[in-house]
Structure 1
């Protein structure tokens, strides 16, 4: 895609930090550290080096050259809470039981925080959590026994992006009045520099930094007007909502104005201008802000001498349609919704490369465990890609499975949900509920040939010369459901 940026957008390239001479480590750690950085609703196309969206990400671009960069990474369940459960448990939704945003991920001792803690790591979590359900409709304090093994604790559960609000160890709200990525990065840098004295004891760390943007949230004007923790409940009260709620600090949004001059994907409909074009400065601007903050974290690792012995991950929980197919947000099976960034570096052990191998969000935890020398529990559904990443294995899988549910499956019938498979060439989807009929037709299934139709503009139905492929992939999804004890086909799909 030929992208031509407005001249003023390149001013932001100054955010790329100059490299400095690395200091020698204070000690030789045998176990690698882990820095797991994720954002919310960051689609894979919105990275500068991908040359698809007109977004400036100098630090992530540089990091991609130092990491194993997956160009076909996918969300197992493209909505926040459920896919975060997939990421931190390594299990599919039907096995971790987080079918919707209101569900709590129960601690079985086999999640990321618990496993690294048991292996002698100092664990920490900073930023958006979204794995404790909604207590009485409110996001609230999370007691230590429900923190899934993370010791240092500073979490938000809403989307007040310009007025971040957090809970730590005490049941008292911390109100910052700050742009959340800036505040969270400051706290992460404090953790990396101090770690409560554990650095001197030789204890490695596993730190998660979870940014809430570029997900849509309340802009500063709305937050000043309404003193409420979660924007979703009061969107109906907004007289004017700029950019569907996407927003970033002014200096970042200005880099993407005028929005209607920015290049768009070929599957963005012209009639979509009113909703998606105003969202671009806020969405892309938030990503560029996150890029700036990510660069600070990387620089700290290099300055402290921890870089070589630290596994660094950058990913997201799901993507964002941003006007593609005439729609906003996530949930659907299109590439803009299910495709996520995934870059993993470990300078001491992994050589940088660009990888076209399919990988699912449930595969990240077992990969980290193997890289860190920690035994992978049998209950984990995902597969480790450690051998593939260090060149010992050429292929890991030719299929990844993903799904969507808006609530727990029950005999009263589903709200809306689907099961799907992505191969290197095809996307196959079997869907339930009248909501999906507009996409899947009378037989409630659809196929996309992503090689011939990369923008997924031409859905394929039974009887259109692809029946053999559809039958093969339907069988694969049915087998997967049976293996994971999922009643989608046996009870619901007709």
Structure 2
């Protein structure tokens, strides 16, 4: 079955700017535009009304470095994120740069350190661990510097990633507390001992989304002020979601929908009106799709699909968890049937997302032949044993490799290492 592609919504445009804005650990269902009832995202919701909103967008991975490795390169992370490094490869930024776009990146997560080769293709690249207000300032400077030329830019905000802090501006979502382990903050990592604690950390997370949404509103105003709103395609997304005990864990460890279902929206100056699409996007599609939108060609042989032109709507979507040595997993989803393969003891789970979006009923014993066909497709796509690939990708390497003591401490403050 062929989908006509995104070209039905907007034309090829090589004369426009392209700006990707991403948030860290933002799950789709925490935004009003995806049905969340709480007031977390007024600016993002208003943006969505003018944008093409993807109902079914997947992260290519459940952690920041592997997810970005995929969105940058159009390839699944087991191919390009080896030994905690993005290997030299063609990237979206590099392709845009080679075709006359000034490229810049502002990334507020030290996981994307230049020492790990994430700066490939960017003319200007800033990465750190700052308050998001600082990331916004750096984004403004990058936009001002790029204003006189056609540009491709990317600004990544750390919100709503841990630590989830109490913020007065978000008190309607997470009110002030004086007692309890998480009255003021969760810190970089946390555990849950009661329903009350779970409710509190979820409230704080929602408050961090509201803060990030406020930052986003300022960024949109900045584009207006700089005269860039009418000639810039703005793409909003996330690197992965977040867990709140839906399947017994918190933060980002597993491969359930709360982890890999992410927001994806495209506001295009030449789009007649906002719309929603059922196109099945996964992070590896960003490179070939944006390249096609700009009238460029992505390299052949990559995993991502060009969703701008007609494509196979029944494609398989993989998502990969590979940086946690104790929990390496791979997902294959097709037609809302989702297989999760766990590598530690080789487990399989099968869910029908159409009737069971919360993944509560495992169908692996009821539909073994379907699970088998999804696994066979996984092997065909990876051209290997999937679990062997994940195990070997970072064998003998640690997240601290290549980084300075200061960068390692920044990773520790975010809960990435203990």
User: TM-score, normalised on structure 1?
Assistant: 0.68
Q: Decide whether aligned partners of structure 1 residues 205 and 472 sit closer, same or farther in structure 2, where only a CA change above 3 A counts.
A: same
- The within-5 A match list for 1:342-381 is 342-349=264-271, 351-381=273-303
Shift of 1:253: 4.1
What do the CA deviations read for 1:402-426 (whole angstroms, capped 9, x no partner)?
A: 121126xxxxxx6431222122321
Partner of 2:381: 480
- Does the 8 A contact of 2:328 with 2:390 survive in 1? no
What do the CA deviations read for 1:72-126 (whole angstroms, capped 9, x no partner)?
A: 1011111111111111111111211347xxx121333x11222222222222111
* Distance in 2, Cα, partners of 1:56 & 1:146: 31
- Does the 8 A contact of 1:318 with 1:340 survive in 2? yes
* Distance in 1, Cα, partners of 2:347 & 2:117: 43
Partner of 2:87: 106
Structure number with greater CO (CA < 8 Å, separation at least 6) is 2
* Distance in 2, Cα, partners of 1:293 & 1:82: 25
Partner of 1:264: none
* Distance in 2, Cα, partners of 1:35 & 1:396: 26
Is 1:249 aligned to 2:152, yes or no? no
Q: Decide whether aligned partners of structure 1 residues 127 and 146 sit closer, same or farther in structure 2, where only a CA change above 3 A counts.
A: closer
Is 1:404 aligned to 2:384, yes or no? no
Partner of 1:155: 127
Q: Decide whether aligned partners of structure 1 residues 417 and 144 sit closer, same or farther in structure 2, where only a CA change above 3 A counts.
A: closer
- Does the 8 A contact of 1:57 with 1:291 survive in 2? yes
- The within-5 A match list for 1:24-423 is 31-52=15-36, 54-98=38-82, 103-108=84-89, 110-130=90-110, 142=114, 147-156=119-128, 158=129, 164=130, 180-192=131-143, 194-195=144-145, 199-200=147-148, 203-217=149-163, 246-257=164-175, 273-349=195-271, 351-387=273-309, 393=310, 396-406=313-323, 415-423=326-334
Larger Rg: 1
Shift of 1:282: 2.3
* Distance in 2, Cα, partners of 1:92 & 1:145: 16
The one of 420, 428, 446 equivalent to 2:349 is: 446
What do the CA deviations read for 1:131-185 (whole angstroms, capped 9, x no partner)?
A: 556xxxxxxxx479862122233311x4xxxxx2xxxxxxxxxxxxxxx222211
* Distance in 1, Cα, partners of 2:323 & 2:390: 17
Q: Decide whether aligned partners of structure 1 residues 400 and 250 sit closer, same or farther in structure 2, where only a CA change above 3 A counts.
A: same
Shift of 1:39: 0.9
- Does the 8 A contact of 2:173 with 2:204 survive in 1? no
Q: Decide whether aligned partners of structure 1 residues 42 and 143 sit closer, same or farther in structure 2, where only a CA change above 3 A counts.
A: closer
Gaps of 5+ in 2: 1-12, 178-191, 392-418
Gaps of 5+ in 1: 1-28, 134-141, 159-163, 165-179, 218-245, 260-269, 388-392, 408-413, 435-442
- Does the 8 A contact of 1:125 with 1:209 survive in 2? yes
User: TM-score, normalised on structure 2?
Assistant: 0.79
1:446 is paired with a residue of what secondary structure? strand
Q: Decide whether aligned partners of structure 1 residues 107 and 251 sit closer, same or farther in structure 2, where only a CA change above 3 A counts.
A: same
* Distance in 2, Cα, partners of 1:293 & 1:471: 45
Partner of 1:21: none
